Amino acid sequence: MADFVLLDRDGRVLIVTVNNPPVNALGPGVPEAIVAAVNQGAADDGIDAIVVIGGGRTFIAGFDIKEFAKIVSGERQGVDLARQVLAIENCPKPVVMALHGTALGGGLEVAMGGHHRVAVASAQMGQPEVKLGLIPGGGGTQRLPRLCGLETALEMCVFGDPLAAPEAMRRGLIDKIIEGDLLKGAVEYARTASVRRTRDLRDKLPHGTADLSDLVELWKAKAAERMRGQEAPLAAIDAVTAAAWMPFAQGIEYERELFERLLHGEQSKALIHVFFGERTVAKIPNLAPDVQPLAINRAAVVGAGTMGGGIAMIYANAGIPVLVKDTSAEALERGLATIRKNYESAVKKGRLDQAGLEQRMALIAPTLTYDGFERADIITEAVFEDLELKKRVFAELDAVARPGAILATNTSTLDVDVIANATQRPEWVAGHHYFSPANVMRLMEVVRAKSTSDVVMASSMELARRLKKVAVVSGNGMGFIGNRMFVPYRQQAVMLVEEGAAPEEVDRALTDFGWAMGPLAVGDLSGIDVFWLVRQSWKHLEKPGVRYAEAEELLYQRGRYGQKTGAGWYRYDAQRKPHPDPEVLQMVRGWASGAGIAQRTFTEEEILDRCMGALVEEGKKVLAEGIALRPVDIDMVYVCGYGFPSWRGGPMFWAGIT
């Protein structure tokens, strides 16, 4: 146990250094060791005060997430952090917590058990449990409001976003920012500190009989908007507001009750699956063990359209200089203007400052020629979806790229092997399939063609990590993982309308389930013409005697391409808000009667069964064919690229296939 903390003293101050590298996670034995060290300080007549600090690069970064899974499976007993934090708080001598790096989750709860908190300005603190479908379980929901008031505690526990130290100081979470050496500053602070237990503070809480219903309703509305369908944010609201009217001990019990219920619930299991899934998919199991990813310092993109522009932004955001080539000055200008507009909107939203914008723009160099491409470590092609064009572009790239440069295609539907074979070096070619808008969507399918080398695969995965993407390996099959499964899923949605359901009923069933958008609204967003084209390229795969969805053809013929033409499955007003359109129903009903398709009504459950059933069935085929390596790869594709609710863990996890 002693290993988890190192003890030292500076005069009459005991220094407890938490020692569980790399991030001092609260694995079994760590909180116990801190408590034992604090008790030792309390019993020592030569000690007046205690400083707790993290060894290495951070304070306590959080509870060890692997342990949650063990608790749920019964492998270990429940979390006892609340009792341990209480034991720290009970210390009769002042305890000062010294924070650097991150104090998250259980780490912040331990910090709040101290009598004072000091931090370096770069430290971050937060209660991100909600991102795992949980609430703080170590007293966080009761101590945070006592230190910072209900609003801040709600913000931190409901959304899970961290605060930087200066802001945390403003809100009362920490007492002092230490310039210079943290330990020295903390020890000095401790010499004059007094015992001040967080649990005894009340001045930031409303009166015990205050009416909190407006506050509760406001936060429920915020949670519904940003975290629709999730249980943990609502539990966080309950627990935090209880701090205002329950005595502390009762509040702790209430928090425990809610925490336990969430921990054993489906949503938390799903979110923990997604958390580990992100790490699992980053590793390719069948790669030669000695391959080292290549250094990538310069990039180039061919095509400055929707995707090419977005891809250039991704590189610039990661600080990698990128050339962008198109065929005309107008196309380049348009592309660059869109990029600038996107950055300007990030500045307006406060996500980027003006200097950051200029820095990024300076990294993006437009060009009409291949000059400079010979120095690129990676070239990504994003020209029109036209096989002959792509083959030509790859032959050109083969002539200009240096040996050892990665050549990537962003094709959505074409055969990467055929594209690779347009070069003399197919082993250097892979698919890098980004999702629109590329600078926003986290997913990237890395397509392994037959000839793609291990070094290109390993480098692509490492690159994706740098670009802050979740990369999932996909085999080179039609539609890769995501679009391949999306086609039958959308087919069902369209067929349901053909059989009598209204478009908004179909979409509502799926958004009620948790999808960010319904499948028909997705058609309107991406363009009915785009889906029509995809269908044409897949038509040869359609089997005789099988019914396929046809109603979208009707929309296409009438120029109802979706949002861009003001009408698709829905009619759009000037704000692009969708409205049900009786004309669509009339059109589809007329066609269905001619085609002899029986009409009826559908329950939400039936709609869900049909659409989700098709999605999962195709997922099974994708697995059987080895297009996806593991069920979790499919889950991550859907959670990170298709707006599938993370709290359901992905379609395969939801279907019990893991």
Q: Which burial class, exposed, middle or buried, applies to 331 when counting CB atoms under 10 A from its CB (0-12, 13-18, 19+)?
A: middle
Residue of the chain from 127, 141, 241, 411 that contacts ligand NAD (CB under 6 A) = 411
Phi, psi of 538 (to 5 degrees): -100, -5
Alpha helix ranges (H) inside 290-429: 306-317, 329-348, 354-363, 387-400, 416-420
Nearer to ligand NAD, 304 or 629 (CB): 304
Residue of the chain from 307, 363, 615, 623 that contacts ligand NAD (CB under 6 A) = 307
Q: Residues 197-219, buried b or exposed e (16+ Cβ, 10 A)? A: bbbeeeebbbeeeeeeeebbeeb
Cβ atoms within 10 Å of 241's Cβ, excluding its own? 21
- Closest separation in Å from C-beta 187 to ligand NAD: 56
Nearer to ligand NAD, 98 or 302 (CB): 302
Residue of the chain from 304, 430, 443, 528 that contacts ligand NAD (CB under 6 A) = 304
- Closest separation in Å from C-beta 553 to ligand NAD: 21
Nearer to ligand NAD, 131 or 325 (CB): 325
Q: Which of 89, 129, 155, 445 is catalytic?
A: 129
- Closest separation in Å from C-beta 354 to ligand NAD: 27
Contact 100, 184 (CB under 8 A): no
Nearer to ligand NAD, 123 or 364 (CB): 364
Residue 401 sits in the site that holds ligand NAD (CB under 6 A): no
Q: Is 109 a catalytic residue?
A: yes
Residue 587 sits in the site that holds ligand NAD (CB under 6 A): no
Q: Which of 109, 155, 255, 498 is catalytic?
A: 109
Of 383, 385, 381, 393, which is closest to residue 536 (Cα–Cα)? 385
- Closest separation in Å from C-beta 527 to ligand NAD: 8
d(CA 560, CA 19): 63
Nearer to ligand NAD, 114 or 310 (CB): 310
Residue 366 sits in the site that holds ligand NAD (CB under 6 A): no
Phi, psi of 377 (to 5 degrees): -85, -20
d(CA 341, CA 338): 5
Residue 418 sits in the site that holds ligand NAD (CB under 6 A): no
Beta-carbon contacts of residue 151 (< 8 Å; ≥ 6 apart):
none
Residue of the chain from 39, 280, 306, 537 that contacts ligand NAD (CB under 6 A) = 306
Q: Contact region for ligand NAD (CB under 6 A) — 225-233, 430-438, 560-568, 606-614?
A: 430-438
Q: Contact region for ligand NAD (CB under 6 A) — 291-299, 410-418, 539-547, 557-565?
A: 410-418
Beta-carbon contacts of residue 537 (< 8 Å; ≥ 6 apart):
413
Residue of the chain from 149, 172, 305, 643 that contacts ligand NAD (CB under 6 A) = 305
Contact 459, 296 (CB under 8 A): yes
Which helix (H) or strand (E) element contains residue 17?
strand 13-18
Contact 487, 538 (CB under 8 A): yes
Residue 447 sits in the site that holds ligand NAD (CB under 6 A): no
Q: Contact region for ligand NAD (CB under 6 A) — 408-416, 447-455, 633-641, 647-655?
A: 408-416
Residue 436 sits in the site that holds ligand NAD (CB under 6 A): yes
- Closest separation in Å from C-beta 278 to ligand NAD: 21
Q: Is 344 a catalytic residue?
A: no
Residue 296 gets the label, from left (phi > 0), alpha (psi -120 to 50) or beta, of: beta
How many helices (H) and strands (E) the chain has is answered by 27, 19
Residue of the chain from 84, 152, 342, 410 that contacts ligand NAD (CB under 6 A) = 410
- Three-state DSSP state, 603: coil
Q: Which two tokens stand for residue 321?
A: 């200089």
Residue 325 sits in the site that holds ligand NAD (CB under 6 A): yes
Nearer to ligand NAD, 327 or 593 (CB): 327
Residue 372 sits in the site that holds ligand NAD (CB under 6 A): no
Contacts to ligand NAD by CB under 6 A:
302-308, 325-327, 331, 382-385, 389, 393, 410-412, 434-436
Indicate which residues carry an active-site annotation: 109, 129
